[in-house]
Amino acid sequence: MGKKVGVFVCHCGTNISATVDVEKVAEEAKKKYPGVSYATTYKYMCSDPGQKLLRDKIKEEGLTGVVVAACSPKMHERTFRNAAVKTGLNPYQVEVSNIREQCSWVHQDKAVGTEKSIDLVRMMTEKTRKDTSLDAIKVPVTKRALVIGGGIAGIQAALDIADGGNEVILVEKDASIGGHMAQLSETFPTLDCSQCILTPRMVEVAQHENIKLYTWSQVESVGGYIGNFDVKIRKKARAVDLDLCTGCSSCWQVCPSKKIKSEFDTELGNRTAIYIPFPQAIPSKPVIDKEHCLLYRDARKKNIPPEDSKVCRKCYDVCPIAPVKAIDYAQEDEIVEVKVGAIVVATGYKELPNNVYGEYGKGKYQDVITGLQFERLASASGPTEGEIRRPSDGKEPEIIVFIQCVGSRDPAKGCSYCSKTCCMYTAKHAMLYKHKVHHGHAFVFYIDIRCAGKNYEEFSLRAIEEEGATYLRGRVSRIYKKGEKLIVLGADTLTGSQVEIEADMVVLASAMKAQDDAEVVARTLSIQYDKDRFFSELHPKLRPVESSNAGIFLAGACQGPKDIPETVAQASGAAAKVMALLSSDELEREPVVAKVDRLPPPVFSTCIGCFYCQRVCPYGAIEQEDIKARDGSVIKTVARVNEGLCQGCGLCAATCRSKSVELAGFSDEQVYAEINSVEFN
Amino acid sequence: MSNETTFEPRIVAFLCNWCTYAGADLAGTGRKQYQANVRIIKLPCTGGIDPLFLIKAFERGADGILVSGCHPGDCHYNSGNYHARRRWNVFKPLLEFCGINPDRIQFSWISAAEGGKWVETINSVIDAVRVLGPFEGYQKINAIGPEGPGEGFAPSSDTTGCECK
Amino acid sequence: MIEALRKKAEELLKNKTVSVVFGYGEGSTPERTRPVFITKPEEVNKLTWNKYCVYNLTTYLKRQETRKLGKPAIVVKGCDARTLIVLMKESQIKREDVYILGVSCDGVGDPLAEKCKACDVHTPRIYDDLIGEKGENKELPFDERYAELDEYENLSEKEKWEFWQKQFEKCIKCYACSNICPLCFCDRCIVEKNQPQWIDPSAHARGNLSWNVTRAYHLAGRCINCEECQRVCPVDIPLNLLNKKLAKEAEKNFNYRPGYNIDDELAMSTYNEKDNQDFVR
Ligand SMILES: Cc1cc2nc3c(=O)[nH]c(=O)nc-3n(C[C@H](O)[C@H](O)[C@H](O)COP(=O)(O)OP(=O)(O)OC[C@H]3O[C@@H](n4cnc5c(N)ncnc54)[C@H](O)[C@@H]3O)c2cc1C
Ligand code: SF4
Ligand code: SF4
Ligand code: SF4
Ligand code: SF4
Ligand code: SF4
């Protein structure tokens, strides 16, 4: 029958009792609130003895509902619910009234605080009287993970998870895995060659029996929920059959279309239309760039299927594979459907292009390049084989200027944040430059030097002290061209003087930005992103690798600018989370889910099947169900909630005009009771 | 007027769990003081707040209402606040059309990090309603009913009928 | 027109395209019409069409008694046809389960009904057959369509409150408004929900305000302005002003008119990231 509610008012040391008369709150509750059969106060409810008190009283007093008036439910709701479970009381019969954050800490006047607390406790008591017992929802776990993005973050996460004995599907949108790290020359703070440490890991991915790699592919859609995601992957047609191709290189050697700017070489070098992005690419099998390929261009112009075009076909002819050639112009996109239990997002970043800065030439001066372009110049496998040469005329720059914080920390250009890696890689660049151009001189314009990290400070000091780079504190206001020189106008704020440098080359330490398609990816995955479009972690301190969508984790620069060591650490962290998740056969979920009512005939349900709820549900959790007569004819079609998918937002409940769908834990009765008991003293 | 000096507005705030409720918690953690005239009702999402709740709060004697949730783009459920905003876009003008002062029903986006904004917002809602005075119009029509404010709080068993299920 | 209508109805019944025709029949006096449900081809002469065909027959699509009669052909004016579009969007009828006999209409009522003064659907926007001339539907400017509201929107806050209180006070909670409304098709209206009882079912001012506001809100982005609720209200509450106000807001803020384009997403089940939020702090 009626519920027996126990009220436990916490002193929280003096955090609550200093400004709230806790005894009075308990007394009032017992005296005046219907249903309250027991009320007391305690010094620290969350402490072991506090929890014991709760358990003992539930048993002794036969309580069927509990209100703990204490700190925010975000702190200890779970603590108190777990304590109750040990006595056999359903955890959802326990509610927390927030009289600390909402009352004792924000109102000094004890009389006011006490009155408000009395009110707050009453509201929660009324809600508790309408609480119903709810059972955790159990869902099975698919023991397979999806990793999106094959940069160092994705590679690390995939290897860790696969080494742990789980299947991994790695999806990379480019033709090869490797990401930005593959483009780097040498890496701070140790100056080891980036490709030398990366490519063995790439090979490991390719050979790992637990990893299935999809390159030139994208995640098309993600449905389902933690433990049970349904993923559709689009394998874009690469015009090459990966099973047949051996990567013999014949085709890209004969391709006549040779003057295409290489994305991998940051447009400083060229590639063919059928190509692998770089020699150590994984897989080392080519893809046809259909925009530039002569055959596809011809087919588009004539509006015929590509396989009918007679233009070129050189790659096909040269392909040695028989009887069926590995080149297949007619190949079409393929959709692969997979089930996974967890997802790691590792889609990385994009470098701010150098054409956004009017004062730095808007990209029209060839010798004003970005950091990544410098990496390619300095890379032994790059377009200049590691020699630092000006893109315009191939000359060695004798005076080089590095500008830090280009785009970063500059709200006017859209990034208010610090890109974190630029101070370090600029120091690295200055060093590499000195190693390669002994007689040259490097200037660095900076705003601050931020080199926090193991051996980082030492590294950057080396650039100044040992390599003799001139660091100038100030912004560069303008760059313009004079003859063959670039005139760099800047300020040296430490001496208060204007500086003018006649440079041969300028390197912009451009901001690390979120990928262009970050919003699309976020929407596909139903995860949140921040104002800069980096994906949001669930908690900035305590849950740094979890996204806002349970079962989806974040790794690397897609979550915010970071360097390789940090990226790898986060990737391993995400992998650990994934493995913990995949180690259980079943998951328990909070039963805060919606339910559409079902009634005896002739009504069956008050739902009338307008399906507004279905349209607003962000998780596609609402399905249609036919209610059938004995002869199989449909009496009515109504809504039904898939508990596995429902995340408990309550949108459906608020949208349903007839209130035929309710959210457990926030049922109509509960909310009504809460509103109805607002009285104010 | 003596009446004005003693009037303490009654504000009911409907907050989403993830952003504004957490923002109000943060104000607490930071010991930021604000006026005590508000009673908070927590729901998972602004998208789960039926306008009926707001009407009920007025019926129960609220002088003003604040509804607050995550900033656009930040909804924990992705689109809950967008759907909520749609509803407010028609519901608020409807109430205004019926003669309810817009200051009595206010909306805000307050994130979990904006403890300061919570304090500012709730104080300003309270102040605005204090200027307007008690929602006499509504309270007058309430008084006709069996459970108007001032007659003591009505336990739920009296208002929802039978409790046995 | 009447002849064409009868002929079409006869044909549809004869070849069994439909089993019943919902139409207007002559009433007790010439200024009246009444709904007729014709199931036999020989009875089609009961059908009529004139300026007294004010009401919206689509309400019979939600009634059990008339649903039982089988697949209907239904006579609709341009405004009524908009209801059909909403009903289809809201999964209440399937396009193939109703035969739409659109009639082109120059306005009904004597004097001319309010809804007809700003009508821009003289020719229905959806039909299987059109009875009468097909005219150009010139879309009227926004302001013109909502001109009726100006007077009320310009009242002071106090005047508004008093005006509506006076109106709502009269309500006797007979629910004629929601019963007649073709879009109030809930199996259990919110006022009938008693656990908890969100809206007080007894007729007193507080519950009346909640009822009238809620009913109007439930029709936001849906009401097609047939004015039926207002017509049947025994105590003459100008319900349509509320409906129209909501229609105006929905159109202004979401650029949406219910039942106007079948491809439009239902306004209250979707959103636009750029929706107005001037009023949000
Ligand atoms: C000029 C420069 C120099 C640097 N030097 C150093 C250094 O010396 N030392 C150091 O520690 N750090 C350095 N960094 C930082 C380093 O580049 C990053 O820390 C690292 O690359 C981040 O790895 P990631 O895997 O997160 O992202 P990325 O390397 O960007 O990889 C992301 C991968 O995901 C793929 N992808 C993107 N979107 C999708 C999608 N929707 N679907 C499928 N796949 C997708 C991309 O194609 C890419 O392969 C430097 C950065 C710059 C700009
Ligand atoms: S909104 Fe309500 S009536 Fe409509 S389908 Fe959903 S549960 Fe049923
Ligand atoms: S509560 Fe939210 S997630 Fe669950 S069914 Fe309703 S709208 Fe969908
Ligand atoms: S609310 Fe009134 S005017 Fe609108 S559709 Fe219903 S009956 Fe017609
Ligand atoms: S007033 Fe609302 S709940 Fe009642 S029938 Fe109409 S739409 Fe349904
Ligand atoms: S028809 Fe009129 S009196 Fe009857 S319930 Fe509706 S508004 Fe009230």
* Residue whose pair of structure tokens reads 């100030």 in the numeric block: A474
Same domain assignment for residues C146 and C256: yes
pLDDT tens per residue across span C6-44? 999 999 999 999 999 999 998 888 888 999 999 999 999
Domains annotated on chain B, with CATH: 11-143 (3.40.50)
Domain boundary among C108, C131, C154: C131
Query: Which amino acid is located at A21 in the chain?
Result: D
pLDDT at position A680 is 66
C64 interface with A at CB cutoff 8 Å: no
pLDDT tens digits for A10-37?
Answer: 999 999 999 999 999 999 999 988 899 9
Chains meeting A at 3+ CB pairs closer than 8 A? Answer: B, C
User: Which domains, ranges and CATH numbers included, belong to chain A?
Assistant: 5-129 (3.40.50), 136-236+333-348+523-584 (3.50.50.60), 250-318 (no CATH), 350-513 (3.50.50.60), 594-664 (3.30.70.3270)
pLDDT classification of B64: cutoffs 50, 70, 90: very high
Given a cut of 50, is residue B149 above it in pLDDT? no
A443 neighbors A398 (Cβ within 8 angstroms): no
Per-residue model confidence (pLDDT) at position B146: 44
Q: How far is C171 from chain B (nearest CA, A)?
A: 14
**Is B32 in the A-facing interface, judged by CB distances under 8 Å?**
yes
Which residues of chain A carry a pLDDT beneath 50? none
Give pLDDT, residue A681. Answer: 52
pLDDT digits (tens, 9 = 90+) for C164-195: 999 999 999 999 999 999 999 999 999 999 88
Residues C49 and C127 in one domain: yes
Q: Do C185 and C115 fall within a single domain?
A: no
> Exposure pattern of C103-124 as b/e (b: 16+ CB <10 Å)?
bbbeebbeeebbbbebbbbbbb
Question: How close, in Å, is residue B109 to chain A by CA atoms?
Answer: 15
Residues C49 and C148 in one domain: no
* Protein residues with CB under 6 Å of any ligand 1 atom: A 148-154, 171-174, 179-181, 184, 187-188, 218, 346-349, 351, 371-372, 375, 421, 425, 428, 512, 515, 517, 521, 556-557, 562-565, 567
Q: Does C119 share its domain with C161?
A: no
Q: Between chains, do A650 and B48 touch, taking CB under 8 Å as contact?
A: yes
| Start-end of H helices in B37-165 | 51-59, 80-97, 115-132, 136-143, 156-159
Whether residue C148 sits in one domain with residue C264:
yes
- The CA distance from A406 to A356, in Å, is 10
pLDDT-derived band at B155, boundaries 50, 70, 90: very low
Long-range pairs, B119-122, Cβ under 8 A, ≥24: B119/B27, B119/B32, B119/B33, B119/B34, B121/B66, B121/B68, B121/C281, B122/B11, B122/B13, B122/B24, B122/B34, B122/B35, B122/B38, B122/B66
Q: Are strands A65-70 and A94-98 parallel, antiparallel or unpaired?
A: parallel
**C107, C131, C155 - which closes a domain:** C131
Token pair 């790992």: residue? A208
pLDDT for residue C127 is more than 80: yes
Q: Which of A101, A650, A666 sits opposite B24 (nearest CB)?
A: A101
Burial classification of residue B144, based on how many CB atoms lie within 10 Å of its CB (0-12 exposed, 13-18 middle, 19 or more buried): middle
Nearest residue (CA) to ligand 2, atom 2: A656
Judge whether C136 lies within some domain: no
C47-105: pLDDT as tens digits = 999 989 999 999 999 988 888 899 999 999 999 999 999 999 999 999 999 999 999 99
pLDDT at B143: 59
| Dist. CA B37–CA B35, nearest whole Å | 6
Domain assignment of residue C276, yes or no: no
Q: What's the first-to-final CA gap in chain A, in angstroms?
A: 30
Is C121 close to ligand 6, i.e. is its CB under 6 Å away?
A: no
Residue C102 and residue C153 share a domain: no
pTM of the model: 0.71
Q: By a Cβ cutoff of 8 Å, what residues of chain B touch chain C?
A: 51-52, 55-56, 59, 72-73, 79, 82-83, 85-102, 106-109, 121, 137-138, 141-142, 144-145, 148, 156, 159-162
At which of C81, C97, C131 does a domain end? C131
Domain count, chain C: 2
Report which bound ligand comes closest to the CA of C172: 6
Same domain, C99 and C180: no
In this structure, the answer to whether residues C150 and C249 fall within a common structural domain is yes
CA distance A207 to A201: 10
Is residue C91 classed exposed, middle or buried when 0-12, 13-18 and 19+ CB atoms within 10 A define those classes? middle
Residue B161 pLDDT greater than 70, yes or no: no
- Do residues C89 and C160 share a domain? no
Question: What is the C-alpha to C-alpha distance for residues A389 and A368, in angstroms, rounded to an integer?
Answer: 12
**Does some domain include residue C279?**
no
Q: Cβ distance C139 to C16 under 8 Å?
A: no
Residue C263 lies in domain: 142-269
* Ligand 6 mutation target, pool C235, C240, C241, C243, most atoms within 8 A of CB: C235
DSSP B24: H
Query: In Å, what is the CA distance from A539 to each residue of A536, A547, A559, B112, C242?
Result: 8, 9, 12, 11, 45
- Interacting residues of A558 by C-beta distance below 8 A, sequence separation 6+: A149, A153, A345, A346, A347, A348, A349, A514, A515, A518, A534, A535
Rounded to the nearest angstrom, the distance between the alpha carbon of A219 and the centre of ligand 1 is 19
With tokens 């785009």, the residue in question is A407
Establish if B29 touches chain A: CB-CB under 8 angstroms.
yes
Looking at the fold, whether C21 and C40 belong to one and the same domain comes out as: yes
Query: What pLDDT, on a 0 to 100 scale, did the predictor assign at position A440?
Result: 94
Contact A564, A633 (CB under 8 A): no
CB neighbour list of residue C137: distance below 8 Å, 6 or more residues apart = C78, C120, C121, C122, C123, C125
Whether the CB-CB separation of A125 and A35 falls below 8 Å is answered with yes
HSE-CB of A99 using CA atoms within 13 angstroms:
40
Return the structure tokens found at C182.
């073709």
Dihedral-angle region of residue C266 (phi above 0 means left; psi in -120 to 50 means alpha; beta otherwise): beta
Residue C275 lies in a domain: no
The interface residues of chain C toward chain B in range 54-83, judged by CB-CB distance below 8 A, are none
Q: Please determine, for residue B156, whether its predicted confidence score (pLDDT) is greater than 60.
A: no
C150 part of a folded domain = yes
Contacts A658 to C, Cβ<8 Å: 186-190, 193
- Amino acid symbol at C135: G
Q: Each residue of A420-436: b (16+ CB within 10 Å) or e?
A: bbbbbbbbbbbbbbbeb
User: C179 and C255: one domain?
Assistant: yes
Which of B20, B156, B159, B160 is best to mutate for the A interface (most A CBs within 10 A)? B156
Mutate to test the pocket of ligand 4, among C79, C116, C240 (most ligand atoms within 8 A of CB): C240
